[in-house]
Amino acid sequence: MITAVPGTVGAGGDNVGVSNVAVGELAWGALVSLVGEISVACSAAGLARVGFGPPPFRPGPAGGGPGEPSGPAGAYLDAALAQLTEYFAGQRRAFDLPVDWPGMSPAQRQVLPVLLASAGYGQTVTYGELARRSGLADGSTTVPAARVAGQIMGSNPCAIVVPCHRVVAGDGLGGYSGGTGIEVKRWLLIFEGALPPTLDWDASGPGVS
C-alpha cells in the first residue's frame, strides 16, 4: 500500500533530522514495507527524508483524501516510493535518486555522501573505516572519529537509501535506531546477503512469525 500526502515543513519542529536550512514545501508519502511503515519526504532538490513510522502530515478533514504532490518534489516522491517498493521486492540493488544534501548538517554532508558512494548492496563498512574514508580524524574532538561516525549514522535522515544499516562495529553489528532497532539492521543485512541467514530469519520481515 502506498499513500502520498503533501505538507509544509516550517518552524514548528517538523523538520527535525532533515534540515536546519529552509527547505520550503516537502512532498510526503508512505509505504508499508517488510520492515514496517516507512515515511518519505522529497524537496524540489531531491530526497530529504526516509524514516521509520508514519509521515507527520495526514489528510485534512476537508476534501475526503490526500492531495497530490506536484512539481519536482512530487516527481521525486513518486520515484522514491517506486524504488523503495522495488528494493523490498528484491528487484533493486541501487537507488537512482538525487539526495537533498544541502538540507543536511555539515557533519552529515561530510560523511553520508561517502557512505552512499562506497558501501553498496550486500557490503558493510566499519564505523572506523567510514570515518577514515570521510576524513574524520581522531584528536580533532574529544570524541573518537569512529564514534562521531556512529553518531552521524544515528542522525541519518535518509535511512535505507543512504545505507547506515551497512555500517557495523569492528566486533559486531553496532547500533541501529531505525524501526525496532538492531533486529531491523540484522534483517536488512541478511536480506541483502551481507550476512548469512540465521535459522530464525523470516523473509516476511523482522519479528514476523
- Residues labelled as active-site residues: 164
Q: Is 179 helix (H, G, I), strand (E, B) or coil?
A: coil
Name which of 133, 17, 31, 150 is nearest 83 in CA terms: 31
**Cell numbers placing 167:** 555500517
Q: What is the DSSP letter of 69?
A: P
Give CA–CA dist 152/111, Å, rounded.
8
Cα dist. 133→4, 100, 115, 157, 167 in Å? 37, 21, 9, 20, 13
- Report, in angstroms and rounded to the nearest whole number, the Rg of the chain calculated over CA atoms: 17
